[in-house]
Amino acid sequence: MVIDEAIEKKEIIARYRRLLRLAKPMLKDDDAKLIKRAFTIALEAHKNMRRKSGEPYIFHPLSVAEICVDEIGLGTTSIIAALLHDVVEDTDIQLIDIERIFGKKVSKIVDGLTKIRGVFEYGTSAQAENFRKMLFTLSEDVRVILIKLADRLHNMRTLESMPRNKQLRVSNETIYLYAPLAHRLGLNAIKTELEDLYLRFTDFNSYRDIANKIDETRASRSRFIKQFVLPVKEEIDGLKIGYEIKSRPKSIYSIFNKMKKQNIPFEEVYDLFAIRIILDAPLEQEKSYCWQVYSIVTDHYTPNPDRLRDWISTPKGNGYESLHTTVMAKNGHWVEVQIRTKRMDEIAEKGYAAHWKYKDNTAKYESNLEKWVVRVRETLEKQDLSALEFVDDFRGNLFSDEIFVFTPRGELKTMPTGATALDFAFEIHTDIGAKCIGAKINQKLVPINHVLKNGDQIEILTSSKQKPNEDWLRFVTSTKAKTKIKDLLKEDRRKVAEEGKEILTRKMRQNKTEINSRLYERLRDFFKVSSQLELLYKIGKGIITATDLKKFQEYKPTAPIKKQTASELADAKAVEQEIKKKHEEDTLLIGEDMDVVDYKLAKCCSPIPGDDVFGFVTVSEGIKIHRANCPNAPELLANHGNRVIKAKWTSQHELSFLTGLRVIGTDRVGLINDVSKVISEELKVNMSSLAFNTDHGIFNGEIMLYVNDTRHLEMLISKLEKVEGVVQVSRFDRVGDKLT
């Protein structure tokens, strides 16, 4: 490829000037000079570097800085940090140099954004370690997270040029950690785009089909919206305030989720879009005007009483404020209407960053979001959690919906949906949680595992004799309660674990087995425990007996690699180096060189030829093949991306693969016979099992059958859909098998 340096230089300067133009309204004093200096350093540091797309590397930090300014609303410090965010990791520049030139704040942010170098202990996760390191800086400066989200957004926008296994790793890490984080910080626009891009790179066919159908329905949607808002506009005009009415379709990812969850085609997703009424109302009259507009809308259209959401009186934990109602339009379709002010709309789109702009004007936004940040800081203080446990705990507190409950004195508390009386007790105070024996909810006595509902008023009952136990962890949902219970149990567990360690050491020495980190990893996998502490605790408690340990020593794991078990292979690169060429026929090619090696098909998603797949190097079962859209993929790839290996089907058809079909329709005599005829007689497909049940004339059937590939499966679905009475046929996965 011939590179025209003059054109490239011109483009770099043009992008830098565009960044300055966007930042101009918030620049003070010498800010422009500092930004120029950061840009000059980054340009020099990355001068010989290119991205996978072939572009100069400097395009990336410039784009990240632009997202920080334009899409999140951050200022000078963040622009400088964004421009420099990769220089310590990728070049000879040190953090001490950045601190000398730009000060401690910028240096701290860049440090938080710099990946940890070096080799990690076997069995841990580099991704989890780096995610934890980045979050530690949240206790000092939330801008680290916001810049990281800008960095991730630009990487997702430019993921096309990356190899397939990298696309899958980055996409799944994004949906597992970064999209929920954007949601929790109130960055709705970024969260939505990250989710859509995830779907694009993991299930392109579904993404393209939904995007095309949204485009096809655009004209009819516009006509419908015009008619819908006409009577409403006339009355809002009478309020004599500025306003605008927007409509936007639901995101591709949310439509895809709804289709999957409800098992319906695109045509049956009725709430494809929301109508948003944005008012230019003074702060002190925001609530009043929003309810007036709600009254106008519901005068013309009948509201669904179960779908009113008042997030103006009680904003969401991420600061989101809006009135939502779903009303019945004249054509018989439900339409969601969102009513908010300009201030609320900016907070809804830009989240945490917009908080600072309105900080002096409203306290309730700050209180909810700041409370969450305080909770995160408490989680971060738990230094003794492994990186994987930390990520799991942290993630548990990201994406949960919320309910609002009250103390006996009427103080409002925000809790995650599914929270119990015990969660609430720990929310009040650790000592109250530790001694909780029950609660009175709305004056009625309930046990500690009682699930709370919106509007409950809760009084906690305690006893000095009460002590926390392991069972409590099963029914608490909040990270705060889980962390505190684990703390309270930990001392006792540590004593028992010490005894367990002595037992294990004795047993292993008897058999002359060396005790090291790899042995612990194999033990954890064999006994299906999440940590070394849990393993030793179970041995100390006698849950894992001497007989069980003997079985472990006798167990010989199968390995895909000659003379080497998979547990000795730390990641996909190591596997690829060990792969030897084979010549026998098979249907799957694996690794950088696309060789044929032994593998197993993952039960959680039952891949078949034609599916987009990836290989995953397990600890003790060799290489397992998963579908790219496997329900377990986000967790596997977010925590263990280094174990991902390329895999691709060839076009051979002689083997059959087990998959499942769900058939829904209206019952009639002879229906099952007609369905099985199409499968076994017309298409000569072998069935493994067939289960149908009917309820008041509606049947629901699940068939496990053997097919050659995705084309074979599509032909079968098409034939079955033509059987009289069949309304819908869809493939299903056997979710639940977590294979790591």
Digit-coded pLDDT (tens) for 693-709: 777 778 888 888 777 77
Kindly name the residue from 30, 89, 280, 384 that is annotated as catalytic: 89
Band of pLDDT at residue 139, cut at 50, 70 and 90: low
Q: What is the pLDDT of residue 17?
A: 93
Q: What is the pLDDT of residue 592?
A: 53
Q: What is the pLDDT of residue 285?
A: 92
Residue with tokens 């000879």: 92
- The mean of the pLDDT values for the chain is 81
φ/ψ of 564, rounded to 5, equals -155, 125
More confident residue, 631 or 425: 425
Poorest-pLDDT segment among 303-307, 590-594, 596-600: 590-594
Residue 682 has pLDDT above 90, yes or no: no
Digit-coded pLDDT (tens) for 193-202: 999 999 999 9
Band of pLDDT at residue 689, cut at 50, 70 and 90: confident
CA 16 and chain centroid, separation: 33
Q: Round to whole Å and give the CA distance between 438 and 449.
A: 8
Digit-coded pLDDT (tens) for 251-261: 999 999 988 88
The reply to whether 89 belongs to the active site is yes
Q: What is the pLDDT of residue 586?
A: 40
More confident residue, 52 or 387: 52
Q: What is the pLDDT of residue 158?
A: 92
Residue 119 has pLDDT above 50, yes or no: no
Go through the domains of the chain in sequence order and give each one's CATH number.
5-203 (1.10.3210.10), 487-554 (no CATH), 566-649 (no CATH), 657-732 (3.30.70.260)
Residue 526 has pLDDT above 90, yes or no: no
SS3 content of the chain, % helix, strand, coil (to 5): 50, 15, 30
**CA dist 642 to 201, 528, 614, Å?**
18, 21, 12
Q: Round to whole Å and give the CA distance between 521 and 144.
A: 33
Q: What is the pLDDT of residue 185?
A: 80
Residue 376 has pLDDT above 70, yes or no: no
Q: What is the pLDDT of residue 566?
A: 40
User: Pick from 703, 700, 702: which is nearest to 725 by CA?
Assistant: 700
User: Pairing relation of β-strands 334-341 and 273-280?
Assistant: parallel
> What number is the average pLDDT over the span 219-242?
89
Q: Round to whole Å and give the CA distance between 15 and 352.
A: 26
**CA dist 632 to 357, 605, 606, 629, 639, Å?**
40, 8, 12, 8, 11
Q: What is the pLDDT of residue 423?
A: 94
Instruction: Say what percent of the chain tops pLDDT 70.
Output: 81
Kindly name the residue from 8, 11, 90, 595 that is annotated as catalytic: 90
Q: What is the pLDDT of residue 569?
A: 46
More confident residue, 228 or 91: 228
Q: What is the pLDDT of residue 151?
A: 92
Residue with tokens 């000078």: 76
DSSP string over 648-692: EE-S--SS-EEEEEEEEEE--TTHHHHHHHIIIIIS-PPEEEEEE
User: What's the predicted TM-score (pTM) here?
Assistant: 0.69
Q: Round to whole Å and give the CA distance between 629 and 409.
A: 48
Band of pLDDT at residue 217, cut at 50, 70 and 90: confident
Poorest-pLDDT segment among 119-128, 183-192, 251-260: 119-128
Q: Round to whole Å and give the CA distance between 540 and 502.
A: 9
Residue 379 has pLDDT above 70, yes or no: no
Q: What is the pLDDT of residue 155?
A: 93
Do residues 705 and 679 touch, judged by C-beta distance below 8 A?
yes
> What number is the average pLDDT over the span 242-255?
90
Residue 441 has pLDDT above 60, yes or no: yes
Q: Round to whole Å and give the CA distance between 263 and 261.
A: 6
Digit-coded pLDDT (tens) for 385-398: 566 666 666 666 56
Do residues 90 and 118 touch, judged by C-beta distance below 8 A?
no
More confident residue, 499 or 561: 499
The reply to whether 621 belongs to the active site is no
Q: What is the pLDDT of residue 564?
A: 41
User: Pick from 59, 72, 76, 87: which is nearest to 20 by CA?
Assistant: 76
Question: What strand order describes the sheet that includes 600-601?
Answer: 588-590, 644-649, 613-617, 623-627, 600-601
Q: What is the pLDDT of residue 585?
A: 38
Digit-coded pLDDT (tens) for 530-573: 778 888 888 888 888 888 888 887 776 654 433 344 444 445 55
Q: What is the pLDDT of residue 324?
A: 93
Residue 323 has pLDDT above 80, yes or no: yes
Residue 719 has pLDDT above 80, yes or no: yes
Poorest-pLDDT segment among 41-45, 341-345, 380-384, 447-451: 380-384
